[in-house]
Chain A
Amino acid sequence: MVKKSMMLVCALLFGLSLILSGCGAPAGKTVGVQSVQKQGKSITVAVQDNFVSMDPGDTNDTLSFSAEKTMMEGLIGFDKSMKMVPLLATSWEVSPDAKEFTFHLRKGVKFSDGTPFNAQAVKVNIDRLSDPKSNLKRHSLFSLVDKTVVVDEYTVKVILKQPFGAMLNNFAHPAALMVSPAALEKYGKNIGRHPVGTGEYMLKEWIPGDHLTVVKNPNYWRQGYPKLDSITFKSVPENGSRIAMLQTGEADFIYPVPPENVQSLVGQSGVTVKHKPSIIVDYVSMNTLKKPFNDPKVRQALNYAIDKNAFIKVVYSGLAEPMTSEIASNVQFFSPQQPYPYDPNKAKALLKEAGYPNGFDTTIWSNNNSTYIKATQFIQQQLAQVGVKVKIENMESGTMDSKIWSVKKPQDATIQLYFGGWSPSTGDADWGLRPLLSKDMIPPQGYNTAYYQNDTVSREIQQAIETADPAQRKAAYDKVEKDIWQDAPWVFLDTRDNIYGYRNYLKDAFLLPDGSLDVQKAEIVK
């Protein structure tokens, strides 16, 4: 029997070691000692999630856009700080009423399948995006387009149904990456599996759930680029494995690096970890249609009840900034507001005034990645201090999407609190406010999970896009941001940093503030 017991002990120890090793964290801090030299000119990028589609117009995750941008280019691009720069269009004009947009195109550019890039190609792409019948996820960015006119071979004019001052930013959005018209015709609905663009790289293979590889486009128009032979994107959901891959050199670039692991990577030889302010805001939306959140006092109380600095310390290891408006400070037309200070007593007083002296019970929904799980637990702890008992439901994103967007009538929505993040990839206030807080954007139309339907705010948001004049737009957004801030349909939390890591020999691979990768100009320096 002793022998049997020993066996049992061994089995259990083995099991425990399995549990521990299954967690996949790096075994120690001595891994990064090998040389920082790199053989060949191919790199591997390890990312957290799977790629969904390679059809830019039908993509709504930032990660898929990252891979698409290596193969395709838009009329307008973004520089490192998300300022618009000419790309396939060399210049453009906007009519004063913000209804007509004329683009002058770059000459001598060809898609990687040999199709020439010209005004006709642009028209095919914009027509496809603006036609509701194409059933594209990003149709909403181009639903205002009335028609696209070919002026001459290298000039194209887009005419809108009504003025829209932020339209240029929509053209810079990755959804408007140009796809080869010949490929669109050839592959039809399957274009998402066969992307063809004018970009630095071309698709070699894509095995969903595992990896996606792009190879050099030999006929790329910009002299001297691309600098690499190939880029392989690998989906590595486990944080620990991704970090280990960077340490061992199996991956040359990883994103994201969890904030709690930054300390352990900093100072390791051959590895650089960077964190930069993003335009991603984290917030808790409150269903303003339902009790108790229909009362602004309750919503303000929750804003006072949460210590944003402690939130940042606990959830992001200090690598974030408290929100000072509904949009991040580096988004166009940001207008700073006075943050709600941490004041649990004031929160309790407000709850009492609103008729909830003993608090209430509620439920919070969020994604189930480890950062979000931690965030919701922190919110639960803080709200418990003022008597609000929160039940946490962390769901897989598919499940949550269907729970939020399958709602037919607003009054049937079961959503109460929702913790989420938003990254306006146009870099403009419009895409940071209208889809989330305007009254015509309640699910399933948009992302207004607060069911916030303030007529004044909705009208002001509309006014801000009816002109292209920056001064007028700024004035309108100043009012919008102030009104929403006071009405508090959200608990305003933070703007997080983007954190990524790379091997030191890698140059010009970085993250844009919206959380998308920019690796198309990357090179290896020996």
Chain B
Amino acid sequence: MPDLLKSPAAAGLTVTEPPGPPLPAPDAILTGGTVSSPWSEFWRKFRRQKLAMVAGAFIVLLFIIAIFGPVIAPYRMDQPDYNNMLAGPSLQHLCGTDEFGRDIFSRILVGTRISLWVGLSSVLVSAFFGTILGLISGFYGKWLDAFIMRFSDVLLAFPGILLAIGIIAILGPGLGNVIIAVAIFGIPIFARIVRSSALTLKNTVYVEAARSVGAQNKRLIWKHIFPGAVSTVIVYFTMRIGTAILTASSLSFLGLGAQPPTPEWGAMLSSGRNYLDQAPHVAVFPGLAIFLTVLAFNLFGDGLRDALDPKIKS
């Protein structure tokens, strides 16, 4: 965690290769090809992260499955076969069948959309509110800062999963509420990271210059400080997706998330644990799906950070 906080955020102010919309943009246009665009610069660095490239490819595959999953699944995800329960992997059923004779492979394919949706949407909500709160907190300081940060501290004091369980206890079980719960406990994390960027960026020369020519606070925040914080947010966004998927699966595992017959991976893992000794495949394949997806997002995030971190010279 400490790496995350120190690297891109602290580095944003040196602005040798600013991420996002770069400050010396007009020059770049004028001088044409002599200065490479930030995108190609990023790509040049990112390409070297072999592991992250593989993870990225896997994530692309996941998105394709998420879109076309129900179409390419060989069976309907809720189609039981009571004569073929807990059957091991075979050519008919690549990942075997579950306790109702449903095809696990099909269920995992269909479940991809759910996991990605939960992961993306909850982190998007966290990032959105976290960034706004972080910018306000870092830019205005004083009591607003104290208020927002103490509130974040309160939320962060709870272990993430416990906070999520608490929120579910209030809202009631269900996938929608899981998204809300996971989103809420992600907000303070984003708020803190963005605040630290904002704190350093607001004292930079270019922000003061903008202020001295009469730029409004709103403009300062959105045009000058926010772009500097974006790279941090992007990196952390990717990392959080893995955590969010894992948390959502854990909640479903505990019976608080997806309700049957939804093929949510955590819920599948949970029902599979009853058959671990006679039919381990029922738990193993959904577990593997969660494992690979979370791993892919984390490796991808790692790669992104390395590529976006100006301190790591190529």
Least distance between A16 CB and chain B CB atoms (Å): 5
Q: Which of B134-142, B185-193, B223-231, B267-275 contacts A (4 or more CB under 8 A)?
A: B267-275
Least distance between B209 CB and chain A CB atoms (Å): 36
A8 contacts which chain B residues (CB < 8 A)?
A: 295, 298-299, 302
Which of B253, B260, B271, B295 is A9 in contact with, Cβ under 8 Å? B295
In the complex with contacts A5-B302, A378-B100, A394-B255, A12-B274 CB distance below 8 A: no
A380 contacts which chain B residues (CB < 8 A)?
A: 260-261
In the complex with contacts A260-B275, A314-B99, A394-B255, A381-B287 CB distance below 8 A: no
Q: Which residue of B lies closest to A370 (CB)?
A: B274
Q: Which of B35-43, B175-183, B276-284 contacts A (4 or more CB under 8 A)?
A: B276-284
A28 contacts which chain B residues (CB < 8 A)?
A: 277
A25 contacts which chain B residues (CB < 8 A)?
A: 273, 276-277
A402 contacts which chain B residues (CB < 8 A)?
A: none
Kindly state the separation between the CA atoms of A2 and B260 in the bound complex, as whole angstroms.
Answer: 40
| Prevailing SS type, chain A contact patch | helix
Which of B85, B255, B269 is A368 in contact with, Cβ under 8 Å? B255
Contact B100 A239 (CB under 8 A): no
In the complex with contacts A25-B276, A258-B274, A374-B82 CB distance below 8 A: no
Kindly state the separation between the CA atoms of A336 and B230 in the bound complex, as whole angstroms.
Answer: 74
B99 contacts which chain A residues (CB < 8 A)?
A: 260, 314, 374
Contact A12 B291 (CB under 8 A): yes
In the complex with contacts A381-B78, A381-B100, A20-B299 CB distance below 8 A: no
Least distance between A266 CB and chain B CB atoms (Å): 12
A310 contacts which chain B residues (CB < 8 A)?
A: 82
Which of B259, B261, B295 is A12 in contact with, Cβ under 8 Å? B295
Kindly state the separation between the CA atoms of A20 and B295 in the bound complex, as whole angstroms.
Answer: 17
**CB of A26 closer than 8 Å to a CB of B:** yes
A26 contacts which chain B residues (CB < 8 A)?
A: 277
Please tell me the size bucket of the interface on A.
Answer: 35 or more
Least distance between B99 CB and chain A CB atoms (Å): 7
Q: Mark A293-312, 1 if CB is under 8 A from B, else 0.
A: 00000000000000100100
Contact A12 B294 (CB under 8 A): yes
Contact B49 A313 (CB under 8 A): no
In the complex with contacts A314-B100, A380-B261, A260-B51 CB distance below 8 A: no
Q: Which B273-314 residues have a C-beta within 8 angstroms of A? A: 273-278, 283, 287, 291, 294-295, 298-299, 302, 306
A12 contacts which chain B residues (CB < 8 A)?
A: 291, 294-295, 298
Q: Which A374-389 residues have a C-beta within 8 angstroms of B? A: 374, 376-378, 380-381, 384
**CB of B88 closer than 8 Å to a CB of A:** no
Least distance between B250 CB and chain A CB atoms (Å): 9
Kindly state the separation between the CA atoms of A26 and B273 in the bound complex, as whole angstroms.
Answer: 11
Contact A264 B277 (CB under 8 A): yes
Kindly state the separation between the CA atoms of A421 and B39 in the bound complex, as whole angstroms.
Answer: 65
**CB of B80 closer than 8 Å to a CB of A:** yes
Task: Sample 11 A-B pairs with CB under 8 A, ordered by A number.
Answer: A8-B298, A12-B294, A13-B291, A16-B291, A258-B274, A314-B99, A370-B274, A380-B260, A380-B261, A381-B80, A391-B259
The 3 A-B residue pairs with the shortest CB-CB distance in the complex, in nearest-first order: A23-B273, A25-B276, A310-B82
Residues of A with Cβ closer than 8 Å to B?
A: 1-2, 4-5, 8-9, 12-13, 16, 19-20, 23-26, 28-29, 239-240, 258, 260-261, 263-264, 307, 310, 313-314, 368, 370, 373-374, 376-378, 380-381, 384, 391-392, 394
